[in-house]
Amino acid sequence: MSEAALLEHIARLPHGKANYKQLIRELGARGASREELEILLARLVARGDLIETRAGHFTAVRGNREFAVGRLSMHRDGYGFLISDHPLEGIAGDIYIGADSARSAMHGDRVVVRIGRVAPDGRADGELVKVIRRAHPTVVGEFQVRPRGFFVIPHDERLQDWVQIPEDLAIPAPTAQIDRIGLKPLEITDPAKLDGMIVNVELLEYPAEGQRAVGRVVEILGFPDDFGIDVEIVIRKHHLPHRFPADVVEQAESIPGVIAAGELVGREDFRSLDIVTIDGETARDFDDAVWVDRLAGGNFALQVHIADVSHYVKPGSPIDAEARLRGTSVYFPDRAVPMLPFELSINICSLNPHVDRLVLSALLEFDHQGDLVSQKFVRGVIRSAERMTYTDVHLLLEGDARLRDRYRDLLPRFELMKELALILNRKRMRRGSIDFDLPEPLIEFDQFGVMTGVIRLPRNFAHRIIEEFMLSANEAVAAHLEASGLPSIYRIHELPDPKRVMEFEEVAAHFGFSLGVGAIPVKKFGYVDQRRDGKVRREVVLPGEVKISSRQYQKLVAKLEGKPEERILSYLMLRSLKQARYSTDNVGHFALASPSYTHFTSPIRRYPDLMVHRLLAAALDAWAYATGPELSAVADECSQSERRAAEAERELVEWKKAKYMDQRVGEEFDALVISTTKYGLFVELENLFIEGLVPIDSLPGDRYSYHENVRKIIGRHTRREFSIGDKVRVLLERVDRLERKLQFSLVEPERVSTKRKKRRG
């Protein structure tokens, strides 16, 4: 019997409940079958599909109105919320867990909750019943020497309890005592000398009722202000695997750095073509290379060659197991944590110029409307003619004489690339693909690695060329695998939640914009009373049948282009959408308006791409890749790894911003109001992409309050208003580097003019 069949059997029983003896009787489990049943039950309980309410008694979770399973999200004040794995009937949002109930768990733990009171508005309270899986095998924090012993204060403020460290477990092995950049071991033998240092702790006992967690120090990282300590902390806080095990290193080092003649058998030879890679200036690994030509009939031939990582990384090998564990490479401003060892990622798998490299290739033909006329997928070998950068390709296409002379042999190829990219982009826009062009921050460093500023990440048309070509290859591979009937991993982006769409509409309306949802008759919407902060407000809720298309988003993006509100409303539009994820169930990609999409083009840095390569290879060879339920598990794992990496990358950027601004307390800046709340104005500094709060009680000249119905902060007597999109002048008051928060105060125009008079005097 499979896990799915057993789960379905229990779910069909009254109240979705069964006990072990009942299952043996109903399923006829005897001997070896009984052992199999025990294993299946244990797996389903471990995964959270079943709850063992007491020994030998099981309840199916899905559709259950008494229990819920999911991830615990803790607030620094001690209470938490259960983020359920599945939608819960009659419950809106997450389930509130009080501080007393949440005390035996930690932020991020996978837990079982008994659902308690459900309010008329759908908000629910719950009680924590059981921790299924712990999220934190280790905790990074500051070592403290106190009269009652040794403790570690977690760096994550959502981990409430200090970790107690027995004296004999305070000093790790010498090899784990690293300095801040890992060049030489520290020599610390006295635990008292660890006071104030950052350490990584393995948890031996988790917090229980009235008792602290207990751990042992496994790494000494350095002092809080040491250079590079921020990266080390973030890596450990998010549990990013960052050291390759010995067997992985050994296997990677055993892979030859050159391609043997036997490896070329059965591959198409593209080495005579002037194929190029186009990447950023600081890129070290090159997944993809491209080539474009015009065919006799006028159509375009596009070749997208992707590093054949699957040739080197075999299923079940040490490198494969580690790559699956990591899921993705993680990119910090000044370093990276790669998915694959350097021997592969920057050597034999990287499409370096002027050397032979194995590839898996998508050979695509497009007409002048951007329609795909034909496609072919092959294993091949290339020899990249040039390692190009986005900047050089852009300048070359813009007419830079020096570069046009240097790359005169490649110039016609790049001009064809531009022509095809424009056609593909127009085709994508016609079908309704959303193209958010939000500015991304780029942190700048000096030669010593010290942060010097934050600028907007440069983007030009060369970026667009590669984006369009990679999107085309990803779509072609996804459609091919789907048509073959073989299981696959898709990159899906589900329809937005109607309630979040309506919330965005309310904000957009204040600026005179709309997605067009408002054109639907009001009687089609439902209303509920929401009790917040002691007040009852009527809120609109869209029914499930209300649909919205990506074209509506696309049209609004076009309307906003160049407008003062573009930055804010584009960001809020993005937040109204769901997050893209990996799945074996293809439901399409909403933002791209694509019925079938996958990730194929970056197998050096993303594990789903490596899996798609294996699936495509199986389709090419007409044999079934043995995936089973594993493929769905890989999709879920990789979605989680992607979230973890994104959170780590975002946190480190915010930390570096806070550290940089700590030196600028007392300075004034031009800013834009990007959000209004009961706490005050959230502002973003112009040109620096740095955010902070102007507390509501610090606003001058009046007593202010937040009016939720119009999303404005309004003065009680002066009726002065602050709204999203207002331009203000602010002064940086203080920086909380631990929580990475900045606090500003408003600078009044009179103060500015007074300062100018003083300067003139």
State the pLDDT at residue 525.
35
State the virtual CA torsion across 598, 602, 603, 609 in degrees, nearest 10. -10
The answer to whether the beta carbons of residues 706 and 678 sit under 8 Å apart is yes
Cα angle for residues 609, 577, 555 (degrees, 5° grid): 105
What is the DSSP pairing of strand 727-736 with strand 741-746?
Answer: antiparallel
Q: Which residues of 459-497 are buried (b: 16+ CB within 10 A; e: fewer)?
A: eebbbbbbbbbbbbbbbbbbbbbbeeebbbbbbbbeebe
CB 76: neighbour CB atoms within 10 A? 12
Give the integer Cα–Cα distance in Å for 576 and 436. 13
Distance CA 426, CA 496 (A): 24
Token pair of 34 as six digits: 């009984």
CA distance 298 to 290: 19
Q: What number of CA atoms fall less than 13 Å from residue 286's CA on the CB side?
A: 31
Q: What is the pLDDT of residues 460-473, one digit of tens each?
A: 999 999 999 999 99
User: Residue 135, exposed/middle/buried by CB under 10 A (0-12, 13-18, 19+)?
Assistant: middle
Q: 550-560 and 566-576 helices cross at what angle (nearest 10)?
A: 170
Phi/psi for 155 (5° steps) reads -70, -30
**d(Cα 82, Cα 65) in Å, to the nearest integer?**
15
Residue whose tokens read 């002064």: 731
**Among 426, 407, 429, CA closest to 418:** 426
Q: Could you say which residues of the chain have pLDDT below 50?
A: 180-183, 518-545, 751-761
Classify 683 in phi/psi space as left (phi over 0), alpha (psi -120 to 50) or beta: beta
Instruction: Give the closest residue to 309 by CA, choosing from 607, 38, 745, 620.
Output: 607
Q: What H or E segment, with its residue span, contains residue 97?
A: strand 95-97
Q: What CA–CA distance (Å, rounded) separates 297 from 209? A: 76
Residue 8, pLDDT score: 84
Residues with Cβ within 8 Å of 156's Cβ and at least 6 positions away in sequence, in order, are: 107, 139, 237
- Residue 124 Cα to chain centre, angstroms: 28
- Contact (CB, 8 A) for 515 and 556: yes
* Closest C-alpha among 290, 457, 500, 465 to residue 382: 290
Q: Indicate the DSSP class of residue 104.
A: T
Rounded to a whole number of angstroms, the distance between the first and last alpha carbons of the chain is 88
Closest alpha carbon to 119 in 96, 86, 85: 96
Ramachandran bin of 176, using left for φ above 0, alpha for ψ from -120 to 50, beta for the remaining angles:
alpha
Of 359, 368, 391, the closest CA to residue 291 belongs to 359
Single-letter code of the amino acid located at 229: I
Rounded to two decimals, the pTM is: 0.86
Tokens of 692: 């902070």
Which residue has tokens 């982006």?
493
pLDDT score of 534 = 45
Is the CB of residue 651 less than 8 Å from the CB of residue 664? no
